Amino acid sequence: MDEGGRGPMTTTFAFLGQFGEAIDFIFDEHESPAGGAQVGGLSNMWDLMREHLKLSIEAMAIACGVSIPLGLWLGHIGKGGFLAINASNVGRAVPSLALIAFFVAYVGVGFTNLVLALVLLAIPPILTNTYTAVRQVERDTVDAARGMGMTGFQIVRRVELPLSLPLIFGGIRISAVNVVATATIAPLAGVITLGDPIINVNTYGDEGRLAAALVVALLAVVTEVSLGGVQRMLTPRGLKLTTAGRRRHPFPITRREATS
């Protein structure tokens, strides 16, 4: 690495080599290799992170708002299975870079357009998992609920939804991690997220790019782990008891029809 002309480095983590410089970049401001502006440091990273999270959360909220009710309804009436199950197969075949590029070329750049692209990316796993989860609820249980005089809406709300929550959350986890990962290429569509140091390396330098990669990786793992925690909290206690013995695979997806 060429450190010439960048002034005295305060590399506290020098023993880590380039990774040390990257960690240093996260905590301390640097002069941009392009000259002029200061880049890096906690407040710069926090600004990027905030935009990254705002984009991801908005996209996830809309995707959940669309696909969970749709999946519950399709699962409840038992129709549209072909659509719901193949949604994730089709979604997987379209590369996220191609989707973003398509939006940039045909719809335009900007925050709203990008949210829309990420929503399209996030819907399939949630829709597929919600549908599969509802269909997986034992018919006897639904019949019992109907026998108790529950209306269709009550069955969805009080029986099918609670029993489906773990698998629905499996879908949300997959989508959320995918959205957080894809938000990294958001600067291509003019939204300045944590991907900015990765895409615009001339402004941030190599250590900035490595720093951003570290933070993005960490953010994805934190998203996965924390949503896993929420998933465990939301799993009805009765369901935990009955599945504890049967479930041999600790990862959220237990059915192979469900998306991976």
Partner 1 sequence: MILELAQVQIRDRTDTCESNNGFCPDWIADNFDRYVDPFFQHAYLTVVAVAIGFGISFSLALVAYRRRWLINPVTQVTGILYTVPSIAAFFLLLPITGRGDDTALIALVAYVLLIIFRNVLAGLDNVPEETKDAGRGMGLTDRQLLWRVEVPLALPEIMAGLRIATTTTVGLATLAFFAGAGGLGEQIFSDITFKSNVVVAGGLAVVLAAALDGLILLVQRAITPWTRAVAAR
Interacting residues toward partner 1 by CB under 8 A: 1-2, 17-19, 33, 89, 92-99, 101-102, 104-106, 177, 180-182, 184-185, 188, 195, 198-199, 201-202, 205-206, 209-210, 212-214, 216-217, 220-221, 224, 248-251, 253, 256, 260
Instruction: Tell the smallest beta-carbon distance from residue 40 to partner 1 (Å).
Output: 15
Q: Which is nearer to partner 1, 47 or 224 (CB)?
A: 224
Instruction: Tell the smallest beta-carbon distance from residue 12 to partner 1 (Å).
Output: 18
Q: Which is nearer to partner 1, 95 or 236 (CB)?
A: 95
Q: Which of 47, 88, 39, 50 is nearest to 200 (CA)?
A: 39
Q: Which of 208, 215, 214, 132 is nearest to 167 (CA)?
A: 132
* DSSP helix/strand/coil, 22: helix
Instruction: Tell the smallest beta-carbon distance from residue 74 to partner 1 (Å).
Output: 22
Q: Which is nearer to partner 1, 144 or 225 (CB)?
A: 225
The DSSP bridge pattern shows strands 29-31 and 38-40 to be: antiparallel
Q: Which is nearer to partner 1, 68 or 177 (CB)?
A: 177
How far is Cα 260 from Cα 139, in angstroms, rounded to an integer? 25
Beta bridge partners of 40: 29
Instruction: Tell the smallest beta-carbon distance from residue 182 to partner 1 (Å).
Output: 8
Q: Which residues, 6 or more positions from 196, have their beta carbon under 8 angstroms from its beta carbon?
A: 48, 187, 203, 204, 212
Instruction: Tell the smallest beta-carbon distance from residue 233 to partner 1 (Å).
Output: 19
Q: Which is nearer to partner 1, 33 or 162 (CB)?
A: 33
How far is Cα 167 from Cα 163, in angstroms, rounded to an integer? 9
Q: Which is nearer to partner 1, 97 or 144 (CB)?
A: 97
Q: Which of 177, 138, 167, 153 is nearest to 235 (CA)?
A: 167
Instruction: Tell the smallest beta-carbon distance from residue 79 to partner 1 (Å).
Output: 22
Q: Which of 96, 60, 91 is nearest to 186 (CA)?
A: 96
